């Protein structure tokens, strides 16, 4: 007797009802703060609309969308990860750009000064895994600088890297400039020239099966209000 009720409850809880009022946005981890704010603004501007987010490594999100995850909108941190789901989405547009920065714990206990410190054996280093956009960008940066990094861990998304810096578990990491800013005083950022060589384009696209609300959210992100929020968070806006 209980089983059908339970099953119905589970199905109800797990699927986002395609009633056109809830927009499910899959977004790169580096967009966590700015998109959370934009989601609230969108809901305020569109009474009755609800935005729910799934933030994570772009490659993991792309894989989930490829497997049929119920997303309306995908915002990734690189064109390559958007390309993975090309069959699922409508005309991606670049809505932001981001660049890497060295992140060190507050007070910079290991005295990190630049990219060269990433090759030191005794320094604790966290990087994004190569297949996540921040890891791909880091790879380009190190190739451009001619440095072989010696990471101690390769994390699944940029926020996981940032957490290791925040906790002081690593001496240095490469994250986006916007992440350093979002972390406030706990993390110090150090800029470097090679960051220019690996600027990430962030594409956003509605999924082909997205509700009209989903397309509306994409329009909102590329609108004047969206651009202002992205700029305030430290993104470059095209």
Partner 1 sequence: MIRDRPLVLVLPALAGLAFLVVPLLGLLVRAPWAELPARLFSAEVGNALRLSLVCASLATALCLVLGVPLAWLLARGDVPGRGLLRALVTVPLVLPPVVGGVALLLVLGRRGLVGQHLEAWFGVSLPFTTAGVVVAEAFVAMPFLVIAVEGALRAADPRYEEAAATLGASRWLTFRRVTLPSVAPGVVAGAVLCWARALGEFGATITFAGNFPGETTTMPLAVYLALETDPDAAIVLSLVLLLVSVGVLAGLRDRWVGGAG
Which residues contact partner 1 by CB under 8 A?
3, 57, 59-60, 62-63, 124, 126, 129, 131, 151-156, 164, 167-170
CB nearer to partner 1: give 144 or 147.
147
DSSP for 144-190? Answer: HHT-----SEEESSHHHHHHHHHTT-SSEEEEEHHHHHHTGGGEEEE
Annotated binding-site members: 30, 58, 158, 176
Quote the CA–CA distance of 142 and 13 in Å, as a whole number: 45
Tokens of 195: 């960051």
In the chain, which ranges are continuous DSSP H helix?
2-14, 32-45, 58-66, 79-83, 133-145, 158-166, 177-182, 212-221, 224-232
Nearest approach in angstroms of CB 160 to partner 1 is 9
Nearest approach in angstroms of CB 16 to partner 1 is 23
CB nearer to partner 1: give 34 or 160.
160
Question: SS3 for 43?
Answer: helix
Tokens 């790879």: give the residue.
139
Nearest approach in angstroms of CB 3 to partner 1 is 6
CB nearer to partner 1: give 127 or 204.
127
Q: Which of 61, 48, 53, 54 is nearest to 19 (CA)?
A: 48
Tokens of 145: 């600088």
Nearest approach in angstroms of CB 133 to partner 1 is 12
Quote the CA–CA distance of 125 and 102 in Å, as a whole number: 11
Annotated binding-site members for molybdate: 30, 58, 158, 176
Nearest approach in angstroms of CB 172 to partner 1 is 13
How far apart are the two ends of the chain, measured CA to CA in Å? Answer: 57
CB nearer to partner 1: give 153 or 223.
153
CB nearer to partner 1: give 3 or 44.
3
């Amino acid at each position: 007797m209980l089983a059908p009720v339970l099953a119905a409850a589970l199905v109800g809880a797990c699927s986002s009802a395609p009633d056109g009022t809830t927009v499910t946005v899959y977004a790169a981890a580096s967009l966590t703060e700015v998109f959370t704010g934009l989601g609230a603004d969108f809901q305020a501007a569109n009474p009755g609309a609800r935005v729910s987010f799934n933030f994570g490594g772009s490659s993991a999100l792309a894989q989930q969308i490829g497997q049929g995850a119920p997303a309306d909108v995908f915002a990734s941190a690189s064109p390559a990860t958007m390309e993975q789901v090309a069959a699922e989405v409508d005309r991606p547009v670049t809505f932001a750009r981001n660049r890497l920065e060295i992140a060190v714990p507050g007070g910079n206990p290991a005295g990190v000064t630049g990219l060269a410190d990433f090759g030191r054996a005794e320094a604790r280093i966290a990087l994004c895994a190569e297949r996540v956009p921040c890891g791909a960008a880091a790879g380009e940066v190190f190739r451009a600088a001619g440095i072989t990094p010696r990471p101690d861990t390769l994390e699944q998304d940029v926020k996981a890297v940032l957490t290791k810096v925040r906790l002081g578990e690593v001496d240095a990491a490469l994250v986006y400039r916007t992440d350093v800013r979002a972390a406030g005083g706990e993390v110090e950022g150090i800029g470097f020239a090679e960051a220019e060589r690996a600027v990430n384009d962030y594409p956003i696209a509605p999924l082909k099966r997205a509700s009209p609300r989903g397309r509306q959210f994409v329009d909102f992100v590329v609108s004047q209000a969206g651009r202002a929020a992205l700029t305030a968070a430290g993104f470059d806006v095209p």
